[in-house]
Chain A
Amino acid sequence: MPGGRFLSILRTLAECRVEFIVVGGVAALLKGAPINTLDLDVVHSTSPENVARLLTALKELDAYYRFQPELRLRPDDSHLCSLGHQLLLTRFGPLDLLGAIGKGHIYSDLLRHTAEIEVGENLRCPVLDLETQIAIKEEVGGEKDLRVLPLLRQALAESRRAK
């Protein structure tokens, strides 16, 4: 089952009125950083109301955990209320649902560091800004994060120069 249709995932989340922020590689790409990625990372609000809406969206997306795809394990509300990472496969491709990123940054902390981007007809999504992506990667300081930092910093410098 090929995927890569991340716009369809975003549309489903938006249609189910899920509160989320696009982060990770897709956010970096949308902000102009030439990052390689094939999955969609979003931080979702873990409020009970939002988790209920998210469960409806995940049902529509036929989402299940991808680490043991043969078992078709599906996340429930206890998983989605947690700050953990749910690495899922949907009918449109991979989707990572993150309760928190970096050292515990949750949806409500991150929302003020986003800008809405028009991603489709009548579809706008909050996307995490490059400054915050860099700050979080610096804070975590993992090998993978450090590798991508020069690219993000350069993309930020270029985008500031272009303004």
Chain B
Amino acid sequence: MSPGYVDEIDVSLIRWMLSLTPAERLETLENFLDDLAEITDRNARRQISLDSSYTR
């Protein structure tokens, strides 16, 4: 197991989060959610377009 883990917990990730300011932590979360929303929207739009092509 990588030295970053302690009892299955990724301590390196916690330390990195702690190295950020509270505002940066929020920004990180917001960025992550923005990226996730972009993929979800993209695939939802694609699904709608596939569905409409079936009904034609």
Give chain A's interface residues, CB within 8 Å of chain B. Answer: 1-7, 26, 29-30, 37-39, 65-67, 69, 84-87, 89, 93-94, 96, 117-120, 142-144
Contacts and interface: CB of A to CB of B under 8 A. Distances in A.
Contacts of B36: 26, 29-30
Contacts of B40: 30
Contacts of A65: 4, 12
Nearest to A26: B36
A59 to B, nearest CB: 20
Contacts, number: 91
B4 to A, nearest CB: 4
Chain B interface size, as a band, is 20 to 34
24 contacts: A1-B24, A4-B29, A4-B30, A5-B31, A5-B35, A7-B35, A30-B39, A30-B40, A38-B13, A38-B17, A38-B29, A67-B3, A67-B4, A67-B12, A69-B15, A69-B16, A69-B19, A84-B2, A85-B2, A87-B2, A96-B10, A118-B39, A119-B39, A119-B42
A98 to B, nearest CB: 9
A32 to B, nearest CB: 9
A30 B24 CA distance: 24
Contacts of B20: 1-2
Interface string B30-47: 111111101110110010
A117 B27 CA distance: 25
A132 to B, nearest CB: 19
Contacts of A118: 39, 42-43, 46
